[in-house]
Amino acid sequence: MKTDRILGIIIYLMNHDNVSARYLAERFHVSVRTIQRDMVSISGIGVPIYAENGKSGGYSILPTYKIRNSEIRSDEQQMIINALESLATSYTNDTLKALIEKYNMIVEKEGGQKVFWDFGVTKENAGVQSKNQLLEYAIDCKKYVSFEYCNADGKKSTPVVEPLAIHYKWYAWYLFAYSEDKKQYRTYKIARIQKLKETDRVSIIDHGDVKGLMKEAEQAYYGTSISIEVRFAREETALMEHSC
């Protein structure tokens, strides 16, 4: 889309000087003439573009306008892109993919990537990823969802809830939701959700700080846990350190 391309050009020029139209055309997969028209559009929205003619000429943004990455070192920039790419190994999301592509356009990978995190082994199946996408949409639209659920004890139910957040914890995806029938916030393991459907009902409830509510629910859960002490032989120390 033109808007996405123009935003990408502005971000790139903020971090690079004297970029030729041909280079930009190749990077954004359009013609040189399209880039020239984009420069007119960019100037029209108030971004001060200037061009230098000649063999080594190109487009730049006035230095007084630029927002440089001087406050973020190159190693810090690399850590950000590493984290985004690692997240993508366990989370399917088109917005995340687009963000990685845009960030790769402006981050210089000097010296190559040195640290790699791959959580692909923890990525849940396509069914869970598909449910995540439906739940994200329902959260954005504040719509209730219905589904069949079987908890860890084998008890079955058919909740109708307002989804508030999905979160990844303990190597699995979970749904944090509000049950109006129970007047409670509940957490559901998404892998145990079946026949997930979006309803026509829209929520008008203001839940406030959802992250804070999730933390309260987690603390309440830990309040039901018990502490255990494990004794083992000294020669098993390495095995226990690896397992725990």
Label residues 149-179 b or e (16+ Cβ within 10 Å = b).
beeeeeeeeebebbbbbbebeeeebbbbbbe
- For residue 127, what pLDDT is reported? 84
The more confidently predicted of residues 155 and 16 is 155
Q: Has residue 235 been placed in a domain?
A: no
Token pair of 242 as six digits = 């690896």
244 assigned to some structural domain? no
Residue 227 lies in a domain: no
Q: The domain spanning residue 139 has which CATH number?
A: 2.30.30.520
Q: Confirm whether 234 is domain-assigned.
A: no
Grade residue 102 by pLDDT with cuts at 50, 70 and 90: low
Please give the helix or strand (H or E) that residue 51 lies within, else none.
strand 49-52
Q: Is residue 242 included in any domain, yes or no?
A: no
Q: Per the structure block, which two tokens stand in for 12?
A: 């790139």
Asked if residue 208 and residue 175 are part of one domain, the reply reads yes
CATH number at residue 39: 1.10.10.10
Look at the chain and report how many structural domains it folds into.
3
Phi-psi domain of 170 (left: phi exceeds 0; alpha: psi -120 through 50; beta: other)? left
Same domain, 119 and 130: no
Looking at 12, 35, 61, the residue that finishes a domain is: 61
Q: Which one, of 152, 188, 185, 148, lies nearest residue 169 by Cα?
A: 188
The CA-atom distances, in angstroms, between 56 and each of 108, 114, 125, 208, 242 are 21, 33, 51, 55, 57
Q: Please give the distance of CA 179 from its chain centroid, rounded to a whole number.
A: 26
pLDDT tens column, 208-218:
999 999 999 88
Q: Which residue has the tokens 């029938």?
A: 181
Residues spanned by the domain of 80: 69-123
- Same domain membership, residue 186 and residue 164: yes
pLDDT tens, position by position, 184-230: 999 999 999 999 999 999 999 999 999 999 999 888 877 777 778 88
Q: Provide the pLDDT confidence category of residue 69 given band limits of 50, 70 and 90.
A: very low
Structural domain includes residue 171: yes
Q: Are residues 113 and 157 in the same domain?
A: no
Are 87 and 100 within one domain?
yes
| Same domain flag for 118 and 148 | no
> DSSP letters of 100-162?
HHHHHHH---TT--------GGGPPPHHHHHHHHHHHHHHHHTEEEEEEEE-TT--EE--EEE
Classify residue 22: in a domain, yes or no.
yes
Whether pLDDT at 144 is above 60: yes
Task: Give domain status of residue 228, yes or no.
Answer: no
